[in-house]
A and B are shown apart, each in its own frame.
Chain A
């Protein structure tokens, strides 16, 4: 995924001799996108809440609903960190343009999860069934698609790789 292989700017060995040493673009040290790992981590926490929701659904054991509430809260906090890091990625020139598809997917999942955090703050069964687990399912689907797209909300300027 990191696309370290040289792209179009392969310099022929003949040219190298006369010219001053220039590092080929493809070999420039890639500055990784800061937000990307956090987007993934937040996504994983939110996806995990579907698992704990389902376990609560099948067992009625309240600790699973508590796990869901904590996972969603933690997932949202990590997603907030990811959003801040995305701004830093832009500010420091790491990020190129927005990756709109992933942006919409992750933002929608985060907003639904915010609603879901309130649903999960209800007491007992209806903190999960039906609205909570429904929201967790939709968020999970959105996040899984974002995951297959590599969790990046912006193109990396350094490497030009598609996330």
Chain B
């Protein structure tokens, strides 16, 4: 009897070990574009990871840029800069922020905390907005002030008329903005609550406004990787909200978007687009993060399925009825790149190649080996849709050894001269990328 039990234990152990086969991610190029390669999902005992050590930039070290471009430092010494926003008078706002912090739920969360700290993702955010004034757009701001202080994990920011909206992790605040002011001290007026605690796993609230300024669109991330914190805490999450700017009334505009970290309108068609961070722990090449147009009432799969109707068996009970209607995203960005900012270009300030399309920052993550992302790319658009393969714009955030990380790109903005600004929340800097030959 004992021999039998020993034999069955051996069988069981080998069965479990088999399921834990380690694997390296393939060429990310296969997963960019309209029809990304999707391997079979695998579950692991220890999901493949590689955690780069955050070392920051030494004096003189900088990201690298593609041919015809140059990079300079616009600001340093910031506190976890995330979102960038250019005001009509050319002032640049830097939202300095990080997660409000979550209590560990499971034994695993303690390990996740250590991983985040090593990769430079656990630094405290400034919970404020800094203003940089570079009046002559020479890349050397003459003025730097704390524009709005004492915010609560802010992220999205948009100016409509004379009102500046800031999306804290738990609410949209409205501030009266007078052109040229360098500081706002009056407390914001709450426009609408946003889903936040408990947990607040994906805490960022990305935001943009419709062209006529009547509606705000807010990206709200899920409260877990794949519902492991329970279905009840996912109520109203993993969705893009439409908020009426005058009344604050809000409704879910689209759902199933796991973590829509940036929302923006395509300038020609005025179609809403988003970049979305997809789920982890089913393989180094699953699931590709994506760029997609957002349809009103559309369901994009999370948590039940990915890339259309690919069912995720980790979710229970399953919902085949919803999976049947899940929309396939427009454009794959490859897996675990963590796109955090989507910025449509406005003409060919940097290069003719960047005249029509979108810049996307890939923050990078540790959920894949080898690492992926840690760059800024450009995706061309034709007829209001993403096409072709992306072009690299800014890289060099990772060390040459692929084990250290100088910086991680987050927020993107164009300054008044058309130069591309890149916030870096590990280097705590803002980089300015411009054309070597000033163009049109």
Q: Are A119 and B16 in contact (CB under 8 A)?
A: yes
Cβ of A69 and Cβ of B108 under 8 Å apart?
yes
Cβ contact within 8 Å between A124 and B314: yes
Chain A residues whose C-beta falls within 8 Å of the C-beta of B224 in the assembled complex:
123-124
Contact partner of A115 (CB less than 8 A), chosen from B45, B226, B228, B231, is B45
* Residue pair A60, B317 in contact (C-beta under 8 Å): yes
**A73 partner residues in chain B, CB cutoff 8 A:** 107
**Cβ–Cβ contact B314 & A66, under 8 A:** no
A7 contacts the other chain (CB 8 A):
no
Q: Is B281 an interface residue (CB 8 A)?
A: yes
Contact with A along B307-351 (1 / 0, CB 8 A): 000000111110000000000000000000000000000000000
Interface majority SS on A: helix, strand, loop or mixed?
Answer: helix
Q: Cβ of B226 and Cβ of A123 under 8 Å apart?
A: yes
Shortest distance between the CB of A112 and any CB in chain B (Å): 7
Let me know if B228 and A62 touch, CB within 8 A.
Answer: yes
Q: Which residue of B lies closest to A57 (CB)?
A: B316
Q: Do A123 and B12 contact each other (CB < 8 Å), given the known contacts A62-B230, A66-B106, A118-B45?
A: no
Shortest Cβ distance from B60 into chain A, in angstroms?
Answer: 42
- How many B residues are at the interface, by size bracket? 20 to 34
Q: How would residues 7 to 33 of chain B score, 1 for a CB under 8 Å from any chain A CB and 0 otherwise?
A: 011001101100110000000000000
Please tell me which one of the listed residues A125, A131, A135, A138 contacts residue B314 in the complex, with CB atoms under 8 A apart: A125
Tell me whether A121 and B43 are in contact (CB under 8 A).
no
- Nearest first, the 6 closest Cβ-Cβ pairs linking A and B are A125-B316, A123-B228, A118-B45, A62-B230, A124-B314, A121-B108
Task: Give me 26 A-to-B residue pairs in the complex whose CB atoms sit less than 8 angstroms apart, sorted by A's number.
Answer: A62-B229, A63-B230, A70-B106, A73-B107, A104-B2, A104-B6, A108-B6, A108-B9, A112-B13, A117-B107, A118-B45, A121-B107, A122-B43, A123-B224, A123-B225, A123-B226, A123-B227, A124-B224, A125-B313, A125-B314, A127-B314, A129-B316, A131-B15, A131-B16, A131-B19, A138-B8
> Could you list which residues of chain A lie within 8 angstroms of chain B, going by C-beta atoms?
60-63, 65-66, 69-70, 73, 101, 104, 108, 111-112, 115, 117-119, 121-127, 129, 131, 134-135, 138, 141-142
Q: State the B residues within 8 Å of A (CB).
A: 2, 5-6, 8-9, 12-13, 15-16, 19-20, 43-46, 105-108, 224-231, 281, 313-317
